[in-house]
Structure 1
Amino acid sequence: MAEELAAVRCDLEDFAAEVFEPFARAEQRRWGGVYLRGLLLDGRRKSVEPMSVRLGEDGNRQALAHFITTSPWDPAHVRARLAWRMQQVIKPSVLVIDDTGFLKDGDSSACVSRQYIGTAGKVTNCQAGVCLHPASDGASAAVDWRLFLPESWDPASPKADPAKVARRKPCGIPVEVGHVEEWQLALDMIDETRSWGIDIPLTVADGGHGDTAAFRLGLEERGLDYVVGISTTTTAHPEEAQPHTPPYGGRGPRPQPDYPEPARTVKNLVIAAGRKAARPVQWREGSRPGSGRSGVKRMYSRFVALRIPPAGREIRKNADAPELPVRWLLAEWPADQTEPVQFWLSSLPADTALATLVRTAKLRWRIEHDYREMKPDVQAGGDEEVAGLHGDEYLRRSPRLRRTLRMGRDGDHMVELHRIPFQHRLGVDAETGPRVHHRSPVTHRRHDLPRGSG
């Protein structure tokens, strides 16, 4: 790994100089670059002491610890620089909202609690957070992130756990930081990312967010189209259903228009449409060998797309007319299955092609693929090694540079990106103890903003 890192050191230093440029002091920029190199070197433990040993003559333990724990710099500036760079490199077609988590054996890390995370597929002891990934078919990168603070860690919550509340001060959690639902954290990050001048073409999320009507409404209020996963129990009306106003009896308030039939689950609506409504769609080529002309296996299945008005109290409350707004219901129904297996809801226009709906919904595979490739390199060595997510940022644990960031000349910007080789502040360090940074508003100076961003 040392030889591999030496081969790309110039590119890595250029990248570090770019993202650390807003730092006020030259020493901060220097040790930010050194810390970045330390994270990319071999070795399971990514705390300051073992990193300083691996860095050799650059391994000043005290300077690295100061940079991580007490050196005053605004992480929002670094995230903005990272987002601008990735906007150019990835040329994203979607913004993927992803939940991530870190399994924990103990209870010392900030915001650790028994909660559900997809990493384990069950309720377990862990930290959880939300990340934003610009993504295209070829690449993705996390550019913003939030730690989820459970209600048990919030002293203002009726579900507060005194033992966990007592851990807030040792973990460095500011007094003003309280419990915020994950879907609201995602909307907050979208607002922050847009404030940097980053274009968000389309939002993709899984069922953990898509099932929440308030999240979908929040995207619509921001003028953002979406394709989000939903569970089988989400309810809606058939497209042909119309609200009906019962006759007025002469007493009391006049009746309001309402749908005469109760809403049905999306699963029942798709089953009612029948197998005949399913159409074959190929959305991408896989990585495994196949028998086709391309030599690789094609990702293929059958899908049903229906126009339906989603139901629910929040949706009714926010509707401007008696008729509920109509959205796309997309369902995957493989030929060898007796019923549909996966569902999405989308606000894309009514004339959107089925293939476009499918390819957009399935683009979340890019994030899963990148995490899967990264997994052998990021096995945690316990609480001492990596704390994971803290306050505004989580440690993107990528100790190996799997692909090279290559810069051409004369306008030839040729970049291969598996994931950006940058990890932000370490939340808990073995020597210096845990630290949480409160989410701060973006306060860019004028010259920090890209042209045209206002």
Structure 2
Amino acid sequence: MERIAGQFGRVEPRLRARQLLLGLLADLPRKNCWTIAEHTGDATPDGLQHLLGRAKWDADLVRDDLRAFVLEHLADDQAVLVMDETGDLKKGTRTVGVQRQYTGTAGRIENAQVAVYLTYTSRHGHAAIDRALYLPKSWTSDPDRCRQAAVPDDVGFATKPQLARQMIERTLDAGVAAAWAAGDEVYGDNPHLRAALERRQLGYVLAVSSTHRVPTPAGGQRADRLAKKIPKRAWQKLSAGRGAKGHRWYDWAQIAITAPGPAGHQHLLLRRNRRTGELAYYRCYAPRPVPLSTLVKVTGSRWTVEETFQSSKTLAGLDEHQVRRWDSWHRWVTLALLAHAFLAVTAALERRDQTLADDGTSPNGLIPLTCNEIQRLFTALTARPTRDLAHRLRWSTWRRRHQARAQRSHYRRQAALQP
């Protein structure tokens, strides 16, 4: 709160922002202005609704403070900027950006609000540092509808890759140290985004579709057809990173690409599931030569954005807002990301001070503190103490020991199944 206090000209919105952050970090079954106001002792939700809708403060300046906070603790010159979108299911038609559209949250077309997020992923940890609301053409082509939702006049239609590009360029212009970008097919199949990253000399590993055409001396060829020409000896077994149940082992191969554009090294990277044989395809660019293992590591970092979505929604109420207007959405989401960044950074600092075994446990037989566990302790000891300290710490130790036993069991089972 000391970091962002200067963004509020009056003490009242500053205290309301603190109140909202404490509510977002609280152990509530659902988080919105009503439930948080009740939890923090207010008689009505009017104060929090005023903070989100009418109070004078700039959510973009708080976003810049959020980014600086994350960089202060997680900075890494080999960090990856991971871009992805997520949808929040909403009812009605008046909430800004809502329409019937596909969202991976539901896995089908639903009435939803979609936004693109940028996650900073380093060897120390990961947290979201920027956000952009996607406005479909049904909104940008209807000035009256935009006016009712207080959408600024200078906001026009932008595709998801364009929103991701704007966030990446804003991040790099702020002096953020990063070496790579990663994203799924929505971003990898977009040539304008890839070209923009190459101009900034930012390496990337972006998923592409099987029908993606790859430049070759014989002309453009589909990625899936090139995959059929790879000899068996070209495949290598490598881990894409450690997950909750062990290392994510896949077979990998790469094909060098000669493509127009800034100097650098381009490849088509292929990933093969060792059990099903299913293939995935990636366009890669690096300003300097890098080994295959580095590209695989960057590919694995893309899953951190999914972890960020799940954690920020479950623990910080990212998707539980009940606001309809442009400014209100940006204010809620920015404070929710700030609340989640507090948990993510605290967890990263805990891991940084420990030497972990190969199975991810510490010498005392516990897994490191997770965002979930930090939120439980924070709620119990700071936000709303309902039990004595010894009781809460005993339960924390029990949960972490139980999780450590489960994790060791997963690793042993995986080791037994490996050829």
Shorter-chain TM-score above 0.5: yes
Conservation of the 8 A alpha-carbon contact between 1:100 and 1:128: yes
Aligned with 1:123 (options 92, 109, 115): 109
Aligned to 2:195: 217
Stretch deviating more after TM superposition (364-373 or 89-98): 364-373
Instruction: Tell me if 1:104 matches 2:90.
Output: yes
SS at match of 1:347: strand
Letter of the aligned partner of 2:117 in structure 1?
A: C
Instruction: Tell me if 1:356 matches 2:290.
Output: no
Conservation of the 8 A alpha-carbon contact between 2:267 and 2:283: yes
Aligned to 1:332: 271
SS at match of 1:76: helix
Aligned to 1:46: 31
Cα deviation code 1:14-50 (max 9, x no counterpart): xx22123333333332221122112222334433233
Letter of the aligned partner of 2:223 in structure 1?
A: V
Matches within 5 A, 1:69-88: 69-88=53-72
Letter of the aligned partner of 1:331 in structure 2?
A: L
The structure with the largest helix share of the pair is: 2
CA 1:388–1:268 in structure 2 vs 1: closer, same or farther (change >3 Å)?
farther
Instruction: Tell me if 1:133 matches 2:71.
Output: no
Instruction: Tell me if 1:189 matches 2:173.
Output: no
Conservation of the 8 A alpha-carbon contact between 1:236 and 1:309: no
Letter of the aligned partner of 1:90 in structure 2?
A: L
Conservation of the 8 A alpha-carbon contact between 1:404 and 1:416: no
Instruction: Tell me if 1:264 matches 2:249.
Output: no
Conservation of the 8 A alpha-carbon contact between 2:82 and 2:182: yes
SS at match of 1:143: strand
Aligned to 1:234: 212
SS at match of 1:167: helix
SS at match of 1:36: helix
The normalised TM-score by structure 1 is 0.68
SS at match of 1:185: helix
Higher Rg = 1
Letter of the aligned partner of 1:130 in structure 2?
A: V
Cα deviation code 1:191-247 (max 9, x no counterpart): 222333322321111111111000101111222111111111111133xx2xxxxxx
CA 1:61–1:391 in structure 2 vs 1: closer, same or farther (change >3 Å)?
closer
Q: Which runs of 5+ in 2 are unaligned?
A: 355-367, 376-419
* Rounded Cα–Cα distance in structure 2 between residues aligned with 1:24 and 1:381: 28
Q: RMSD of the alignment, in Å?
A: 3.6
Aligned to 2:140: 154
Per the TM alignment, residue 298 of structure 1 is displaced from its structure 2 partner at its CA by 2.4
Conservation of the 8 A alpha-carbon contact between 1:44 and 1:381: no
Letter of the aligned partner of 2:158 in structure 1?
A: V
CA 1:267–1:353 in structure 2 vs 1: closer, same or farther (change >3 Å)?
same
- Report the count of equivalent residues: 355
Conservation of the 8 A alpha-carbon contact between 1:404 and 1:417: no
Aligned to 2:346: 405
SS at match of 1:331: strand
SS at match of 2:237: strand
CA 1:358–1:388 in structure 2 vs 1: closer, same or farther (change >3 Å)?
farther
Q: Which runs of 5+ in 1 are unaligned?
A: 1-15, 242-260, 289-296, 422-454
Aligned to 2:233: 276
Aligned to 1:178: 156
Aligned with 2:305 (options 348, 367, 379): 367
Per the TM alignment, residue 174 of structure 1 is displaced from its structure 2 partner at its CA by 2.2
* Rounded Cα–Cα distance in structure 2 between residues aligned with 1:388 and 1:351: 44
Identity of paired residues, percent?
25
Per the TM alignment, residue 374 of structure 1 is displaced from its structure 2 partner at its CA by 5.1
Letter of the aligned partner of 1:370 in structure 2?
A: T
SS at match of 2:286: coil
Cα deviation code 1:301-352 (max 9, x no counterpart): 1101110235xxxx6xxx48xxx975111101234445x5111111125631
CA 1:356–1:380 in structure 2 vs 1: closer, same or farther (change >3 Å)?
closer
* Rounded Cα–Cα distance in structure 1 between residues aligned with 2:331 and 2:188: 23
CA 1:389–1:279 in structure 2 vs 1: closer, same or farther (change >3 Å)?
farther
Conservation of the 8 A alpha-carbon contact between 1:95 and 1:133: yes
Conservation of the 8 A alpha-carbon contact between 1:209 and 1:228: yes
Conservation of the 8 A alpha-carbon contact between 2:202 and 2:287: no
* Rounded Cα–Cα distance in structure 2 between residues aligned with 1:278 and 1:222: 31
